[in-house]
Structure 1
C-alpha cells in the first residue's frame, strides 16, 4: 500500500520538467541547434522557427518553458541586451559618411511615414498617444536581414543598397530615443516639460560618458593586453552590462545603454577575431534564447478572440508594408532611382526584427502594450522577416549586372618586379611533415612564375624563459623541417630562404614574420576546426586571416600541384573585387599550361537573355585582366548553387574558392555559406583564398563592400 501511495503521488512529467531547470535548458539548446536548420531548409528565416518553437513549448503550448522562471528571464534579458549591443557594434560610420546626405533623406521618409501612419492607426484602435507613438516608432527602424543575398549577388556597391544601410543608423537611434521618452513619460504618470529636459540632460551626460569613456578605456585595455583575445573578449562583455546597469541607474531602459556600448567599442574591436567571438557567442546562444522566450510569451487566442484584434494585426502588417513602400517610392522620385532600385530599398527596410522586438518587449513589460498589441507586433515581425529577403532575392539580381567601377587613372609606369626583398614573396608556414611537400611544391611553382622567392617559416613557441627544455625541443624540430623544406625547393629549382622564429603563438608569429618579410602571399595547409574552444577562440588559420597584411591561400592538396591541369573557379558575385581567385588560378595554370574555367551559377528560372548578359558581363571582366590564355566562361542555371558546383567539380583537379566567413546580424542567426558546404564535400584539391582584413569586411547588419585587392600583381 505504501508503494502504491508513492506511485499515486508522483507528479506529472511536465511539472517535474518545470521544476528541474537543467531539463528546460537542455531542450532549449536542442531547439536552438535543430529548428533554425529545419526552417532554413524550408526557405524560411531561422528566427521564425525559434519564435514558433517558443509558442509551441511555452504556456500557450506544451508549457515546457515557464516564462516566469528566473533562469529564463535572466537568459532572455541577456539576449535582449546582446541583440541591441550587436546593432550598435555593427554600425559602420565610414559607410554612412560616404552616402550621408542621401541616407539622411531616405531615413527621413522611412522613419517619419511609418511613425505617423502607425501612430494614427494605434490611436484609432483606442490606444493612448504614448502607446500609439511607441508603436509607430517600432516600425520606423528596420533590420537588414537580406544583406547576405545582396552580398552573394555582388550588389553591395549599388547606391540604393548603400543608402539603405546608412539609413539604418538614423532609424535605430531615432526609434530608441522615442522609446526612452515614452518609457520615461509613462513612469512619471504624464508629460512634463521640466522632467523631459532633466531626462534629456542626464541622457546626454550618460551618452558622452559611455561613448568617450568606454572608447578610451577600450583602446587602453586592448593596447596593454597585447594579443590576449580572451581578456579582450571579456572586456567587451563587461562594457555591455556596465552600460546597461548605468542606463537603469539614470532611469532609462537598459537596451539604450547596450546600444551606446556597441557604438563605443565599435572602433576598438574593429574587424577582427574579438568581434567575431562576440558575435559568435550572441548568435549561437543568447540571442536565439531571446527569440524563443519571445515566442513563449505569445498567445494567439488573443488575436482570434475578437474581430477587432484580428483587424489590428492585419492593419499593422499592411501599414508597415505600405509605409515602407511609399518611403522608397518618394526616395525614387527624389533621387531618380530605377524601379528595381526602389523595390530593393523597400525590401531591405521591410523586415522588423532587432530594434523593433527589443522595444516591443520593453513596452509590454512596463504595461504600455496589451497582449493583443504584443502578439500583433510579433506577427508583423514573422511576416516582414519572411517577405523582405524573399522580395530582395527576386528584384536585386539585375543590379549585379551594373558596370563595374573603372580603375582610377594613373600616370605611373607599369610596375617591375624587383629583386630580393621586394620580389613577389611567398611565405610557407611549415609544421606538419605530411603536408609540407605539396605546400613547398605549390610555393615554388608560383615563385618561378613570378620570378619571386619562397620563405619556409617555422615557429617555435615559447613563454618568457628562453632556457626552457620545451623550447629547445621545438627549435630542433623546426630546424629539421626547414632543412627538409630547403632541400625540397632546391630539387624543384628554387632556392628557399628558410626562417626560424621564436614567438608566443603560431598565428602571431606567422603574421609578424610575413609582414617583416614583405610577403605577397601566405600559403598554409588545411586546418580543421574541432571542439567548442576552437569554434569560440578560433584556430591558427582564423587568426592569421584576421591579422595578415596580405592574401592567404589555405590549401587542401590531394595530389602534387605539378599534376594540376584543370582548375575551376566558381564566382558568386559578378563584381570585379571577387575576381581575385581568378588571378591566383591563372597564375598557377600558367605554371602547368593548365586551363582555368570561371563558373557562375544563376537561378534555374533565369531567362536565356539574362544568362547571355551574365556571360558577356563576366567575359568583359575577365578580359580586363589581360591573360595570355584567357579562362573559359561557363554559366549554369540551377536551383542549388552548391550542388551545381559539386557536379561541375568532378571534372577538375583543383577548385579555387574565396574564403567567406559566416557573419551574423542583429537577428543573431548565422547564414549558411556555400563555400563552407563545398569545402566539406569536394573530393579534389582545394585552395581557399582569403583577403587581408584591413579591407572592410561585409557584415549582415551594416555591411561594407570590399575594396581593391592587394593581389593586383598576381
Structure 2
C-alpha cells in the first residue's frame, strides 16, 4: 500500500479527491452501524494522516485551507440553525438554563485543569470547552413529536447563550495568550468584541434584508451574499484579535432571519453538510497522534476520566437545579441533560484553536476527542430512551388556518370556486395528471387550469418560441379533451415567462388557485442540487398547496391509499384532507400509518390512536383504518406498507442539519425506494 501511495504524483488534487471519497463513503457505513458519521470521518482522518497511510498531510496547503473553511462553516451553520422564534417564546427560562449549564461546566473544567497543573489561562479554556453543547439529539425529539415540549425548547434556546459565552471565553483566553493580560486589555478587548458583535448582528441583518429585497428571486446571488457575509465576519473577527469562528457564529445569527427557512438556507446548509464540514472532521483526524491518543487513555487516563466525569456531573447538576427552579419532572430534567451532553461543534472548533495557539497541549486535545466520542454516543442514546416518555404537546384535531387564505381546500369569496392549476409539459404523463386534477375539481365543483409555460426570448418571433407555443397548444387541447371526459370544467392557459417555476406560481396566485398538481421531475446535475429543481422553486414560492405526482397507474385504478403521519398538526391535516378528497372521488380506501419509537409507552400510543381516528372523522366519509407500528426505521415500515398500496401520499419535508452534518430524511429515503404511485404534498412556505 505504501509503495502504491509513493507512486501517486505530488498534487493537491490527490488530497482533495481522497477527501471527497471519504466524505461520500464513510458516514453512511457508520450510520448503518448506529454510530455517528462524524466518528467515521475522524477515524478516516487518522487512517489517511501521519499516523496511518500518510496520504494526507495536516500541514498541507489544501488540508489547512479546507480545515479552516470547514471550521468557519461549522460555526456559521451552528448560528444559522438556532431557532430565534422558539428562543423568544421561552427567553427567560432559556437564559436561565443556559447560564447554569454554562457556568457549572466552566467551573468544573477549570478546577480539573488547575488540579492537573495547568495555568489559569489554559484551565479556563478547558472549562469553556465543556460549557457549550451541540444538539445532536434534536432530530430524535423531532421524530418523537416532542420538539415543542417546553424542556426541549428551552434547551434549544440555551444553545445561543452557551455557544456565545464559550466563544467569548475563548476570545479572552487567546487574547491573554498573545500578550500581557491586564484588566485594561480585558476591558478593551470586551469593548471591541461588543462593538464588532453589534456591527455584525445589526449591520449584516440590515444589509441582508436590503440585498434580498432588491435581488428578488436570484438565489445564486443571494447564496453568494451569504457566503461573503460569513467570510467577511471571519476576517473581521481576526482584525480585533478574536478567532474567526466567533465572527462566523455571529454571522449565522445575523443572517438567520434574513434567509429564514427558504431555499437559500437549504442550499447554504447543503454545501456545508456535503463538503466543508465533513472535510473539517477528516482534517481533525489528521491532527490526532495515535500514540499520544493511546497515552491519553492509558497513562493519562486520570485527566481524560476527570474531564469526562466533570462534564457529565456538571451538566446533570445544571439540569437538576433547573428542575427544582421551574418545577419540571425527572423525565424533563433528564431529557435536558441528554440534549446538553454532546460536545461536538463549538467544542472541537475551540479545541483546535487552543491547540494551534498553544493554550492547550496535545494531551488535552486528545482528551477532548475522547470526550466528543463519549458524549456523541451517550447523549443521543439517552435522548432516544428518555424523550419517548415526555408528554406530547396537545395538537388540534381539525385544521387551523395558517395563513390569511384559511383552509386551502375551501375557496374564499375571491375565487371562482375550487381551482386546480395543472402545469403540463410531458405528453407521456399528461393524461394521469389531468385525470387526477379533474377528479378533484369535479368533487369540489370547481375547475382546472391546464397550463403550459413557454420560455421567453429576447425576440418574440424567435422560431424556438413559436415551436414551443405550438407544442403547448397541442398539450392544452389534449388536456381539455381529457377533462371533458370526467365532466370537469377546464380553462386552458398558455404563458410566456422567463422562469417556468415563477410562471406556475404566478398563474396560481393570479387565479387564487386552491391547489397545484404537478408531475414528477427528477434531480439532474449539480445546478439542481445547489439551486433547486423546478419542484423546489414552486414549493417555496406558491401561495397554495402543491401536489407533486408520480402516477404509475390510472387514478381510477388507485383503490388503496397509504398516508404516513408523524404528528397531528394543521399541516399534516391538510395532507390528510387531500387524501380523503381524492379517495372520495372514486371510493378508494385510506390507511393512516404512524411509526413510533419502540420504547413509547402503550398509553401514549393508544392516546395518539384516538387522536388519529378523531382527525380522520372530520373529512369526507371514506373507508379508512389506522395502523401504528413500533419500529426504529420509519422508512422501512412505510416501504413495506407501500407494497400493499396503490398510492402513497407523503408530506414534503426539508433536509435539516444537526451539528453541521445532514440528518437522514425519511421522505427522501422512501422516495428512493418506493415502487408504487406517490404524491409528495407540500404546504405553502408561509
TM-score, normalising length: structure 2:
0.94
Change (3 A) 1:417 1:19: closer
Alignment-derived partner of residue 669 in structure 2: 677
Deviations 1:531-563 (A, max 9, x none): 222211211001111222221111110111122
Q: Distance in 1 between matches of 2:148 and 2:227?
A: 33
Alignment-derived partner of residue 194 in structure 1: 184
Report how far residue 263 of structure 1 moved: 2.0
Deviations 1:134-171 (A, max 9, x none): 12112211111122212222111211111111111111
Alignment-derived partner of residue 473 in structure 2: 479
> 1:195-210 to 2 correspondence within 5 Å?
195-210=185-200
1:540 and 2:540 correspond:
no
CA contact (8 A) 1:400 1:575 kept: no
Alignment-derived partner of residue 635 in structure 1: 628
Change (3 A) 1:417 1:94: closer
CA contact (8 A) 2:102 2:132 kept: yes
Q: Distance in 1 between matches of 2:390 and 2:542?
A: 32
CA contact (8 A) 1:401 1:614 kept: no
CA contact (8 A) 2:433 2:518 kept: yes
Q: Distance in 2 between matches of 1:201 and 1:488?
A: 71
Deviations 1:634-675 (A, max 9, x none): 12234433222222222211111112222223x322122222
Given candidates 211, 214, 221, the residue that maps to 1:224 is 214
1:64 and 2:55 correspond:
yes
TM-score, normalising length: structure 1:
0.90
Q: Distance in 2 between matches of 1:437 and 1:668?
A: 43
Alignment-derived partner of residue 650 in structure 1: 643
1:149 and 2:143 correspond:
no
Given candidates 584, 594, 604, the residue that maps to 1:590 is 584
Alignment-derived partner of residue 293 in structure 1: 283
Report how far residue 14 of structure 1 moved: 3.7
Q: Distance in 1 between matches of 2:235 and 2:459?
A: 43
Alignment-derived partner of residue 19 in structure 2: 28
CA contact (8 A) 2:437 2:448 kept: yes
Q: Distance in 2 between matches of 1:384 and 1:214?
A: 34
> 1:251-290 to 2 correspondence within 5 Å?
251-290=241-280
Deviations 1:301-351 (A, max 9, x none): 224437552111112112212211111122122222222222221111111
Q: Distance in 1 between matches of 2:113 and 2:357?
A: 18
Report how far residue 118 of structure 1 moved: 1.3
1:392 and 2:386 correspond:
no
Q: Distance in 2 between matches of 1:400 and 1:463?
A: 58
Given candidates 212, 223, 226, the residue that maps to 1:233 is 223
Report how far residue 405 of structure 1 moved: 4.7
Which deviates the most, 543-552 or 213-222? 213-222
1:315 and 2:306 correspond:
yes
Change (3 A) 1:464 1:111: farther
1:489 and 2:479 correspond:
no
> 1:510-659 to 2 correspondence within 5 Å?
510-573=504-567, 575=569, 577-604=571-598, 611-623=605-617, 625=618, 627-629=620-622, 631-659=624-652
1:435 and 2:434 correspond:
no
Report how far residue 569 of structure 1 moved: 0.9
CA contact (8 A) 1:401 1:617 kept: no
Any idea what SS the aligned residue of 2:513 has?
coil
Deviations 1:577-596 (A, max 9, x none): 43332211111111111111
> 1:89-238 to 2 correspondence within 5 Å?
89-188=80-179, 190-238=180-228
Which deviates the most, 200-209 or 169-178? 200-209
Alignment-derived partner of residue 440 in structure 2: 446
Change (3 A) 1:491 1:144: same
Any idea what SS the aligned residue of 2:349 has?
helix
Which deviates the most, 673-682 or 35-44? 673-682
Q: Distance in 2 between matches of 1:657 and 1:464?
A: 40
Change (3 A) 1:440 1:626: closer
Alpha carbon RMSD of aligned pairs, Å?
A: 2.4
1:663 and 2:656 correspond:
yes
Alignment-derived partner of residue 457 in structure 1: 451
Report how far residue 611 of structure 1 moved: 4.4
Deviations 1:47-91 (A, max 9, x none): 111011111221122222111101100010000111111112222
Between the two proteins, the alignment pairs up a number of residues equal to: 680
Any idea what SS the aligned residue of 1:434 has?
coil
Q: Distance in 1 between matches of 2:619 and 2:474?
A: 42
Any idea what SS the aligned residue of 1:56 has?
helix
Report how far residue 446 of structure 1 moved: 1.0
Given candidates 314, 322, 326, the residue that maps to 1:331 is 322
Given candidates 359, 364, 368, the residue that maps to 1:373 is 364
CA contact (8 A) 2:583 2:622 kept: no
Deviations 1:70-125 (A, max 9, x none): 11000100001111111122223222111111111111221111111111111111
Q: Distance in 2 between matches of 1:424 and 1:356?
A: 54
Structure 2, unmatched stretches of 5+, are none
Alignment-derived partner of residue 245 in structure 1: 235
Change (3 A) 1:571 1:400: farther
1:382 and 2:373 correspond:
yes
Structure 1, unmatched stretches of 5+, are 1-10, 695-714
